[in-house]
Amino acid sequence: MKIKERFLKYVSINTQADEDSSSVPSSVCQLDLARILAQECKEIGFDEVQLDESGIVYATLFSTDDTKDAIGFLAHMDTACELSGKDVKPRIIENYQGEVIQLNDHYSMSKEMYPALATCISEDLIVTDGTTLLGGDDKAGIAIIMSALEKVIKEKIPHGKIMVAFTCDEEVGRGTDTFDLDRFDVDYAYTIDGGEVECVDYENFNAAKAHIEIVGSSIHPGDAKDKMINAGLLAVEFASRFPKEQIPSKTEGREGFYHLTNLQGDVELATLDYILREHDEDKFKAQKDFVTDLVDEFNQKYDGRFQLEIKDQYKNMYSYIKHDMRCVDKAKQAIEMAGIKPVSNPVRGGTDGAMLSEKGLLTPNLGTGSFNHHGRYEFASIQKMEKMVDIVINIIKY
């Protein structure tokens, strides 16, 4: 099966994660794709295939050359929560020449608005109809892995042990919660979950969530003098104390930020949710200390009405990978062999690979040839996906 047909088949299956669900996986629809992938892995000739109780598909190809490293490849089946992934109606733009792409009567995209389009001149693009996301994050990664491994098996390309895993709920931060590292026994692995095909990502944010709850005191406003404590106003005052230049819209590169993701409340109760992001570990600690100290200050001022919970989410994978760069060096070599100059940029986000690296499985991230993820302007380049198939095969062969 050509990668275009494979990708179009996968995006036709709704696998949108549910951030409000506590079930595993968070949405039953993810299992629809999991069952299809497990069957496809059997059909193309994997030696072992397992679909576990949490919806993860594991597939193993036994080694034909024990001198080669055991390597894993991962991609996630779920799509993002920001926009529907149901009833995706993709359209192919053949031989794109830089023109404005009209998705529907209301939405269009240009290379000026979305510079990734400018890197795809003369390529064939798969776009949305403007009403849903596309699902390239990360069904492009799944299609690349399946196409590469099908070729390895059919052409009897010599290889070490290869393991594949297709996971659930990456988009809601739970992609590795039930991942079985004992089952996935490889020397190192790669998530195929980025954009640009030249990228080898092995540096990402340290990440935490901060949840603040404020208890107020309500009374009739006519009798409120020196009695009412308005939790909503305290939340606004608290938020105003955060550094105004350290927000996502004013930072780039390795610059960290505080991102207020939710603020709601009334007189009696108010809550604020922040995500904290920093590449540097000392600066990350300072962010958490800042929030903790600010809550302490407000508790002193307002008689202990603030409660704080900080949860770490993932670490910068570089702090683990820097001690063994084999996986990075091999990926860069594979990209060079495909005629591309590899690059590595600090990722302003995180991947399943960050969590797996922290758990002991070094897992940098590679590209997919799909772009503008999580929205209606998402698109994928067929030629770039094909190039990624070559890169994955180069990793396996050499």
The alpha carbon of residue 196 and the mean position of all alpha carbons in its chain are separated, in whole angstroms, by 14
Count CA atoms within 13 Å of residue 147 on its CB side: 25
To the question of whether residue 76 is assigned a binding role by annotation, the answer is yes
Phi and psi based region of residue 44 (left: phi greater than 0; alpha: psi -120 to 50; beta: remaining): alpha
Selecting among 123, 138, 169, 170, the annotated active-site residue is 170
Whether 55 contacts 24, CB under 8 Å: yes
To the question of whether residue 374 is assigned a binding role by annotation, the answer is yes
Judge whether 312 counts as a catalytic residue.
no
The Cα–Cα gap between 394 and 228 comes to 68
- First and final CA of the chain: distance in angstroms? 25
To the question of whether residue 65 is assigned a binding role by annotation, the answer is no
**Per-residue DSSP letters for 45-62?**
T-SEEEE-TTS-EEEEE-
To the question of whether residue 373 is assigned a binding role by annotation, the answer is no
**Per-residue DSSP letters for 284-348?**
HHHHHHHHHHHHHHHHHHTTT-EEEEEEEEE--THHHHTT--HHHHHHHHHHHHTT---B---BS
Closest C-alpha to 352, from 395, 313, 391: 313
In this structure, the strands spanning 188-192 and 71-76 are: parallel
Judge whether 170 counts as a catalytic residue.
yes
Selecting among 18, 78, 201, 278, the annotated active-site residue is 78
Binding-site members are 76, 137, 171, 193, 374
Binding-site members for Zn(2+) are 76, 137, 171, 193, 374
Give catalytic residues, as residue numbers: 78, 170
